Amino acid sequence: MKLANPLKNKKLLVRTILVILYIGLALLMAVTGKRHTILIDNKDAEDGSYAGVNGMSVQIDKQEASEFYPGDRDKVVVNGARHSISVETFEDKKTTVQRFSISFSAPEMVILSVPKMLAGREPWVEPFSALQEQNSSTTTRSSLPPPRSLRRPTPRRRRRSNVIRQSFVSFRLSGLPGSLFS
């Protein structure tokens, strides 16, 4: 009877350690495997406090470098929370390397303003919202097309090719000897 009690305690201890390891592994996979889309932005500030860089090469982590000119924007998909950005300007061949992290609770898409980073203004990595971008753009609401949900559905037309194909098949079937269609 005394031998059963230590075995029960050992089993419980092993199971507890396995559960803790499983939870730890799951958290590690969630943090390192979370995918983010980074929009690299090279646009002027709306208030004119900084201007877009006139030609640069940008590389995030060890991905392929991209060239940017004033007003350009591109996207990069990355995994994990910690990243580095390397910016080489074409005019003065100056290379700037910065490290940044994206929090686990951040949205899937963030915007990284390179001119803001080079000017030393914080925060140069911000959450991106398409609605926010639409409101800050110079287009007015009336010039934008209505959302899909408000558009009138277009009537579906029958394709001519289907009609021709169906009539050709029925013509061929009717010409067969001993056919049901003759």
List the chain domain ranges. 35-135
Listed in sequence order, the residues at least 6 apart from 37 whose beta carbon sits closer than 8 Å to its beta carbon are 75, 76, 77, 78, 108, 109, 110
Is the CB of residue 74 less than 8 Å from the CB of residue 40?
yes
Candidate from 21-30, 31-40, 128-137 with smallest mean pLDDT: 128-137
What CATH code is assigned to 35-135? 2.60.40
**Between 98 and 36, the higher pLDDT residue:** 98
pLDDT digits (tens, 9 = 90+) for 44-81: 888 888 888 888 888 888 888 888 888 888 888 888 87
Q: Among candidates 88, 112, 98, which has minimal Cα distance to 37?
A: 112
What pLDDT, on the 0 to 100 scale, is given for residue 23? 92
**Bridge partners of 76?**
38
DSSP helix, strand, coil percent of the chain (3-state; round to 5): 35, 25, 40
How far, in Å, CA of 94 to CA of 77, rounded?
25
pLDDT of the residue at 127: 84
